[in-house]
Amino acid sequence: MRDGRLGVGGGGFRGRSGTEGNDDGPGGLPLPSATRKAAVAWLDKCGNVGLLFDRYIRFYDPWGLEAPKKTSGKLLNLQKIVVAQQRCQTDRVWKQFHQQAIERWMGTVRSRAAEPFRMMPQWRFITGLGEKTALEVGFRFHQLYGFPIIPGSGLKGLARMVALWEIGEAVGVKRAPLSEARRIRKAGERTDLEKLEDRLLSGEGRANQRGSPSDQTKTKASAVLDLWEGAPASVAKRVGLFRRVFGTPQAEGQAVFFDAVPAVPPILEVDIMNVHFGDYYQDGKNQVPPADYLNPTPIPFLAVGRSPFLFAVGWHGNDDGGAQEQAIEWLKKGLTGFGAGAKTAAGYGYFIDGERTRVEVKGLRVEGEEPVVAKPHALASRAEGIAPQPSEAPPLNPEPSTLNPIVEHRGIVREYRPDKGIGRLADEETGEELTFRREAVLDRGWSPGKKSTVLYTVEDREGCRSVLTVRKGR
């Protein structure tokens, strides 16, 4: 059915002209008339945004994505997706549906000896941008429930990259600059880090209790790349943990990286990437220069706003060496220091620990309502090793109560002081007054006015209620 998905055109109805069969208002579906009318009436109530995105993209006359008045049909489709997601955030039935789905997810991960932990995006993140869709920009939704997810395969790759860099740093192997890596690969060779990875997977250089390689495994390759000769025992232990977590060609890894899911109905936002020199990039004959007179091409795409996500790393088999805890640590370092998803070099995809309000950055400990983290681009550009990490690790097994999905409430702004970045709101039902800070406001560039209606979330921690997010109410 994927090959004939609605919006792609395979198996769908198309009129002989641009107007035939497109009578359901602005933006039509490639379906027979009666089916289309029934679908349009249902779509206004649908809260499964993944289904809308994958199957119900609307086309415009003559069955293209160029909307009337030269507006972007892609942008209009994505805006409809955002409206549907806002419906999930406010509708009681859809919120209950989401909570039940998360409870089933928690039951699954705990059956694999995993305890979920929460992480919050520092800004926005993008998942599945490269997937092929009718809009030419992808997004990864859960195939059944329709909410955004981060695939476990990608999280495993992120944790594996962090582990490899840590071991390489410990034995003196640096990541080659991009230009140098390209030169090495063009010559048909492998970088030192890739050679280290080959040894980790092949079992060469298996360390004994003293941390030096055993004589039986000193092959020609290990003699050329004698990396952890004389290294401390901690390196040998980490190599063993790497193999247990991620596996080798001879044995499967024991760690199970689950898809990350949103703890609450998440915030979806429409973002834009602007290609300024599209003609230059597409010119295969090198005849078009990257000049200012070229027309920029705005490309809209979906992104997830600041919404808490739940992660979990399970285990199968016996774990008597702390390998599962090490896998969780590698994953957290990757999420906070290197980012997940697309466009991490532009600041997307970096997370902060949702279980901690105290963090250490470059030796300076800062306490407050929201952690302070190093700038994403500074972490991503480090060629050697892992970004600075907090000296106090968060609890790996938080209390289950901290993992309950957070519910949005309606409130009225009593006061907001932009100069001080602080305000007060009152709950619409109970009248309870709460203080919020500028960092909690999700709508960038918007200043909550007095008596304006907002949607907000709170978190109870040790008997103290604090506002996590504030956004425009409907």
* DSSP per-residue letters across 255-279: EEEPPBEESSSPPEEEEEEEETTHH
Section 77-100 average pLDDT: 86
Q: Bridge-partner residues for 427, per DSSP?
A: 411
pLDDT tops 60 at residue 470: yes
pLDDT at 162: 93
Least confident among 149-158, 224-233, 303-312, 438-447: 224-233
pLDDT at 56: 84
pLDDT at 70: 60
Residue 218: pLDDT band with limits 50, 70, 90: very low
pLDDT at 353: 81
Distance from C-alpha of 248 to C-alpha of 200, rounded to nearest angstrom: 8
Local structure of 472: helix, strand or coil: strand
pLDDT tops 80 at residue 219: no
Local structure of 314: helix, strand or coil: strand
pLDDT at 419: 78
Q: Where are the domains of the chain?
A: 1-90, 119-171+231-403, 407-472
pLDDT at 217: 32
Residue 355: pLDDT band with limits 50, 70, 90: low
Mean pLDDT score of the chain, rounded to an integer? 74
Residue 163: pLDDT band with limits 50, 70, 90: very high
Residue 446: pLDDT band with limits 50, 70, 90: confident
Section 307-320 average pLDDT: 88
Section 242-250 average pLDDT: 89
- The closest alpha carbon to 108, from 138, 145, 141, belongs to 145
Distance from C-alpha of 10 to C-alpha of 56, rounded to nearest angstrom: 13
pLDDT at 204: 52
Indicate the fold that domain 407-472 takes in CATH.
OB fold (Dihydrolipoamide Acetyltransferase, E2P) (2.40.50)
pLDDT at 286: 77
Section 126-140 average pLDDT: 87
pLDDT at 332: 94
Interhelix angle 73-90/92-110, nearest 10 degrees: 80
Regarding predicted confidence, which is higher, 463 or 82?
Answer: 82
pLDDT at 64: 66
Residue 79: pLDDT band with limits 50, 70, 90: confident
Distance from C-alpha of 429 to C-alpha of 435, rounded to nearest angstrom: 17
Torsion of CA 432, 437, 439, 442, to 10 degrees: 40
Residue 29: pLDDT band with limits 50, 70, 90: confident
- The closest alpha carbon to 391, from 367, 366, 359, belongs to 359
Residue 68: pLDDT band with limits 50, 70, 90: low
The Cβ of residue 218 has, within 10 Å, a number of other Cβ atoms equal to 14
Distance from C-alpha of 43 to C-alpha of 24, rounded to nearest angstrom: 12
Local structure of 25: helix, strand or coil: coil
% of the chain beyond a pLDDT of 70 = 72
Predicted structure pTM score: 0.65
Per-residue pLDDT tens over the stretch 44-57: 778 888 888 888 88
Regarding predicted confidence, which is higher, 352 or 319?
Answer: 352
Distance from C-alpha of 205 to C-alpha of 210, rounded to nearest angstrom: 13
Using the Cα atoms of residue 424, residue 452, residue 309 and residue 345 in order, give the sign of their dihedral: negative
Contacts (Cβ under 8 Å, ≥6 apart) of 411: 425, 426, 427, 428, 434, 453, 454, 455, 456, 473
Least confident among 33-37, 101-105, 123-127, 376-380: 376-380
Least confident among 5-14, 90-99, 282-291: 5-14
Section 403-418 average pLDDT: 77
pLDDT tops 80 at residue 22: no
pLDDT tops 80 at residue 311: yes
- The closest alpha carbon to 50, from 273, 260, 311, 266, belongs to 266
Regarding predicted confidence, which is higher, 207 or 344?
Answer: 344
